[in-house]
Structure formats: C-alpha cells, structure tokens
Amino acid sequence: MLRLTIPPGMPPAPPGNWLSGTASAFSRDPVAYINRYSPVYAPVWTMMARLRKVVLLNDPVWVKYVLAENNKNYTKSFGYDLLRPLLGNGLLTSEGEFWMSQRRLMQPAFHKQAILTFVEVMLEEGQRCAERFRQAADRGETLNISAEMSRVTMVIVSRCLLGMLVPGDLDRISASLELANRDANHRIQHPFALPMKVPTPGNLKVRRALAELDRTINGIIADRRRSGERGTDLLSMLLEARDADTGEAMSDRQLRDEIATIFIAGHETTANALSWTLYALATNPEVEQKLCSEIDAAGAGAADPAGLPYVRLVARESLRLYPPAWIVGREPIADDTIAGYTIPAGTSVLMPTVCIQRNPEFWPDPLAFKPERHEEERVKDLPKYAYFPFGGGPRICIGINFAWMELFLLLPLLMQGLRYRTVSNAAPALEHLITLHPRGGMMLKPERR
C-alpha cells in the first residue's frame, strides 16, 4: 500500500495509509490513538494526514514552550478558524493586535472582584437546580445530568452576561449554539465536508441557526443601547469599556462575537465539568462520603468556598481526569524547532490536555479519582503544564475565575442532602467534541441521603 511521507527533519510518524495517514484513527478515538503511540514516539510525533501537517506534543515541557515561552511565534490552529461562523472574531478566535486589544478591554470584567458580583446569581440558580433534583429523588427519577447541568449553567451565564433571562431568547440561543457547535466539530474531524456556502440541507439548517443567533443577540444589544440601562452584568461592562489607547468602544458586531463566545465557553465547559464530577463521586463512594461530611459540617457556611478545601480538591481532580478543553491547538508563524525536530510554519501543533493530565509519570495511578493528589505539598514539584485545564500562557482562558467560582459554589449545593447513583455498569464514553462530553449524556439517579 502507498504510504504518506513526512518532510525531512520533522518528527517521526506511525505508519499510515495513502489516503488518510493515521488521522482517521485519531478522529475515531483521540485518547486511544495517543496512548497507543505515545510510549513509542513521545514527546513529539507527526500524525500523518493528507491535507495538512499535524504534530502531537505529549510533554509538559514542550507545551510550556509553545503556549508560554515562544507564544509570539504561534497562532491558533486551523480548528479555531472553523468556529468563526459561530464566534466571529471573538476572543477565542481573534489574533494579533486585535486580540490583545480585546483582551485588555475585557479583562476588568473577569477580574476576581468583578466575578464576586455574580455569586448571588450562582447561588440562586444552584439552589433551584438542587431543589429540582430533590424532587426528582422523591419521585425515583433518573436524570440526564448533562442536560440538567447545561440548563443551569446556561441560565447563570445568561443572567450574569445579560442581566436578564428571557426564556424564548435563551431557548433560541441554546439551540443555535448547539447546532453550530456540532457542525464546527464535524468539519474539524471531516476536512472533506462541503463548505458552508454550498446549499445542502445540513448547511442551510446551520445557516438558519446562525442567522437566528445573530437576530437574538443583536436585538438584545440594540435594546440595551436604546434604553441606556446599565447594571453589574457583563454586557453593561462591555458597553462601557473603552480602549485605553484609542478611547473607542466595542462595535455592535464585536459585542455580538464576544457574547456568543462567552455564552458557549461560559456554560458548556462548566456544565461538562459538573457532569463528570457528579459521575466521579457516584463511582467513588469514599470520596463522596468525605466530601459530604465536609459539606454537612459547614452547614450554612457551605456557600463559602474558602471554608470547603475538599470541595476544591474534588473539583480540581475532576478537571484533571475530564478537562472540558481536552486538546489545545497552535500553529507556528515561522519554522520552529521542538525536541530537535523541525516544525514547519503552518503545521498544526496539538497538545492533548486529557492525555498529559493522565500521564503516570506525573500522576501515579492516573485513572483513579484521588482528590488528595492536588494538595499543595504534592503538586508543588510538578511541571507547570502537567495540569492545564484552562490552557496557559497569555491566552489562558479569560473566564478561569468565573469557572472556578461556579464549580466551587454549585458542587456543594448539588450535594447538600443528595447523592447520585449510576444506572449502568458501563462508564460513559468520552465524546471528543470541542469540549469533552459524555457520549449520549450522563444518566444518574439522585437520591436523598
């Protein structure tokens, strides 16, 4: 069989067929693919693909090099370009001076002190969700926890971002984001998919969803500009923000792109993190008991994350095993050298967070759920990028404080007087979309305790 060949000087590659190299094996199960070849080819190897050069990095030292030490030579990888129909030129997809200007403009809205203004909203919605779960427990119901977590985090981000909750708007935004998100992921994994401009039934459906998303968000922006109302929500902060150099405010188009970005990044990542955390607790009764003992002892103080150290360890361990942003991609602007190999400009450099955070060299017994491993004395000597669930370097997730606060507040509320049981002996399969989903949802049965 004909084989694809790699340019001289590039990292070695596992053998692949003439059409797809090994890219098809990666698409089917990225974690299995990386675990198969990492012992032979780590820390860096080439993934054979027909349409582009792809390099895998599975070592914290070189992740740090790409994301932090030499970050000025790297842009986002091609996968982020496929998100542009959904996110436009928002903070996740923009580059260069424009990205830097937007980051400076938006940073104050995500400062730790600014995030504290959203605590009340998070507590209110977390308590409502917990009450729904208690009622479901009384009825003996099994719930799709993934859908429930998506619902509560969508409401939270809606109230924190827009200062309002319009059910019709929220439903339209949610449906449009879901459809466009899955379409973008499909295009990442299937490079021969027909361009969006080709009027296939699927493309037309996505185009209608994007148009509906634009109408909904633009209508909210227009209403807020007309009314002149301002509050403590993120949209108010963004409307008032001015560039430090030019004094200019954001355009309506840029506001639309940033709102869409915050919506999808601000609810989906936390929803998945909470879903996986509840699953981990359901399958690790000793950890669950220790966590519940801490929450019960705190009583009314369970709303203060500072007084719940084990809650924080549990959340961190969950994001180690199940990082929502399961892989990070970059492309060198100019040729680079990694581990002695040539990385040509334009090569897709993929860094699999989920695999590095399960590397037994840094995390003994890596598939076990052990929150204690995140105690300060145990992690102080780890390489910095042995754990990076929110990325790293200058482009570390701007919402990191928001996400941690939401996790630390909601988890105790969802465990107060409750526990969760699995309804299947089989572990949920990982679905490697733009974020790490449980394939087919996360079915758990809440019970009163």
Contact (CB, 8 A) for 90 and 258: yes
pTM of the full structure: 0.92
Report residue 162 as tokens.
Answer: 């827009």
- What is the pLDDT, as a whole number, of residue 1? 35
Distance in Å from the first CA to the final CA of the chain: 61
Q: What whole-number distance in Å separates Cα of residue 123 and Cα of residue 176?
A: 27
Tell how far CA 1 is from the center of its chain.
Answer: 39
**Domain 23-448 class in CATH:** mainly alpha
| 3-state DSSP of the chain | CCECCCCCCCCCCCCCECCCECHHHHHHCHHHHHHHHHHHHCCEEEECCCCCCEEEECCHHHHHHHHHHCHHHEEECHHHHCCHHHHCCCCCCCCHHHHHHHHHHHHHHHCHHHHHHHHHHHHHHHHHHHHHHHHHHHHCCCEEHHHHHHHHHHHHHHHHHHCCCCHHHHHHHHHHHHHHHHHHHHHHHCCCCCCCCCCCHHHHHHHHHHHHHHHHHHHHHHHHHHHCCCCCCHHHHHHHCCCCCCCCCCCHHHHHHHHHHHHHHHHHHHHHHHHHHHHHHHCCHHHHHHHHHHHHHHHHHHHCHHHCHHHHHHHHHHHHHCCCCCCEEEEECCCEEECCEEECCCCEEEECHHHHCCCCCCCCCCCCCCHHHHCHHHHCCCCHHHCCCCCCHHHCCCCHHHHHHHHHHHHHHHHCCEEEEECCCCCCCEEECCCEEECCCCEEEEEEC
Cα distances (angstroms) measured from residue 123 to each of 119, 193, 298, 355: 6, 43, 16, 33
- What is the pLDDT, as a whole number, of residue 20? 59
Contact (CB, 8 A) for 340 and 43: no
- Provide the pairing of β-strand 54-57 with 348-351: parallel
Nearest to 410 by CA among 130, 165, 132: 130
Cross-strand partners of 423? none
Per-residue pLDDT of the chain (449 residues), as tens digits, is: 335 567 789 999 887 665 556 777 887 888 888 888 888 888 999 987 666 788 999 999 999 999 999 999 999 887 788 788 888 898 989 999 889 988 988 888 888 888 888 999 999 999 999 999 999 999 999 999 999 999 999 999 989 988 877 667 777 777 887 788 788 877 777 767 788 888 899 889 989 988 988 888 888 889 888 888 888 888 898 888 888 778 888 899 999 999 888 888 888 899 999 999 999 999 999 999 999 999 999 986 667 777 899 999 999 999 999 999 999 999 999 999 999 999 999 999 999 999 999 999 999 999 999 999 999 999 999 999 999 999 999 999 999 999 999 999 999 999 999 999 999 988 898 888 778 889 889 999 999 99
Question: 369-372: long-range contacts (C-beta < 8 A, 24 or more apart)?
Answer: 369/280, 369/283, 369/284, 369/287, 369/317, 369/318, 369/321, 370/287, 370/317, 371/287, 371/310, 371/313, 371/314, 371/316, 371/317, 372/313
